[in-house]
Amino acid sequence: MNRPNMHIVDPHTGESSPADIQRVFESQLATATAWRESTVAERIARLKKLRDAMMARREDFYKAFQLDYRKPASEVEGTEFMPVLDEIRHAIGSLKKWSTPKRVWPTMATMFTQSWIEYQPRGRCLIVAPWNFPLNLCFGPLVSALAAGNTVILKPSEMTPAVSAVMAEVIAQTFPSNEVALFEGALQTSQALLELPFDHIFFTGSPAVGKVVMAAAAKHLTSVTLELGGKSPVIVDESADLKLSAETLLWGKFTNCGQICVAPDHLYVHESVKDRFVQACRDVIAERFGATPDAQRKSPDFTRVINQRHTQRIAGLLQDAKDKGAKVLIGGDVDIPGCYISPTLIEQAPANASIMSEEIFGPVLPVITYRDISEVVRQINAAPKPLALYIFSKNKARMRQILAQTSSGGVAINHVVLHYAHGNLPFGGVNNSGIGSAHGEFGFKAFSHERAVLKSGPVLMARMFFPPYTGLKQKLIRWTVDSLRLPSLF
């Protein structure tokens, strides 16, 4: 497709031209400046254009996801289209409210003034998306950026070339490059983009690469939103509904072949219910993917690992755990050329096994039996703060205990992953698992500068602090400062 917004990729290196990147970045400056005054209606029109262009290529996206990693059409709908369309729907219905200046009440020190907060576009923004949900995690933040009135350059992952190509065509047919542009490529393209002084960078990926992005942003004092990952733990206590817990937990674990930043990573299950819970998991896997290894391998509903390199990495984690004493409870089949690892549960993986310290990002779930919930809390707190924490329990006191004594980006109780889809909740991590929040109004604010505005009133209280400082002024100043010790004057 030959369109003005389709950017040349070197066929030998697979990288976009640094000169092309620089040209587009510079062209977006005038647009970003003009868009500070863009209306709600104009922003909504852009969102509708994106929605319509994306939906027009629905079947093409199905084919692209099959090519990249055999993702079923139903998963494409549920995990790629649905989140983006819900973001668009939410933004269209709420943008007027989000963008309206917010009046604020004066404080004691600013009496007789008027103040408000205005939401101003940050300007030229960069969105770097990963491969695990290439459409969702590229176009989702784009919705927030456009709703806030920004220009955008998108950098999807080179590991999903078929999906990236369709996204590039959607962007090319919808926006001129001085508004929104998409550059395909790998490391060199990413490095060329990170050299530029963007006004905001939104990155989704691993903590290791997040540190690289943050360091690059620091050179220009560019603000960042980092949606990272980590090892999200699950707790199933003795009061939990075991059948429902297994059904829900394994949905979150094996959707997209476990390649989800908020996927359950390891499971703490109380010793009194462990055997029954494992049996419930065995039943769920058989029902969803087949009762035999061959049936599971042939299941059209089980996505593949993204490529052979990542399959080898996950297989290596599994083999290392087995070599160090771990036992396979369910699954364990590996086909590296076919990018296939069966739905797998293991137990007795020792603390020094790599699978217990590295994010798995695949369909393997270590099961850890526990007796005392305090020891589980201690282990969770000893690790980097996770992006998500999952609790399956009917014991309200224990729920409160775990919530109070742990820290994570988000929590789901008797569910997994679904908090990501809740547009009225902030989605983000803490420390190692991320910086800043996304989705809904939180995404709008991530791409907005909250500008403080103060307007002087008819009475200029600040005159009290103008020199010369007479005896009367000194008394008035002292009285004013002393009054601030009071909890409230009104």
227: annotated active-site residue: yes
Written as six digits, the tokens of 283 are 């039943």
Q: How far apart are CA 66 and CA 487, in angstroms?
A: 62
Where b means 16+ CB within 10 Å and e means fewer, 408-436 reads: bbbbbeebbbebbeebeebbbbbebbbbb
Q: Which residues 6+ apart lie within 8 Å of 395 measured at CB?
A: 237, 239
- Its sign, for the CA torsion 156, 161, 167, 169, is positive
Residue/partner pairs of 378-382 with CB below 8 Å, 24 or more apart: 379/268, 380/233, 380/406, 381/405, 381/406, 381/407
CB 47 within 8 A of CB 143: yes
Q: How far apart are CA 337 and CA 121, in angstroms?
A: 47
Omega of the bond prior to 468 within 30 degrees of 0, cis?
yes
Q: Among 138, 261, 281, 339, which one carries the catalytic annotation?
A: 261
Written as six digits, the tokens of 473 are 């002024």
Strands 334-335 and 434-435: unpaired
DSSP notation for 214-236: HHHHHTTT-EEEEE----EEEEE
Among 84, 90, 93, 37, which residue's Cα sits nearest to residue 61?
Answer: 84
Q: Which residues 6+ apart lie within 8 Å of 313 measured at CB?
A: 362
CB 409 within 8 A of CB 434: yes
Among 128, 136, 339, 366, which residue's Cα sits nearest to residue 264?
Answer: 366
Q: Among 227, 347, 359, 441, which one carries the catalytic annotation?
A: 227
Sheet holding 327-330, edge to edge: 327-330, 344-347, 364-370, 264-270, 232-236, 388-392, 410-413
Question: Could you give the count of Cα atoms lying within 13 Å of 80 in the half-sphere of its Cβ?
Answer: 27
DSSP state of 371: S
Q: Is 313 helix (H, G, I), strand (E, B) or coil?
A: helix
CB 159 within 8 A of CB 307: yes
Active site residues: 227, 261
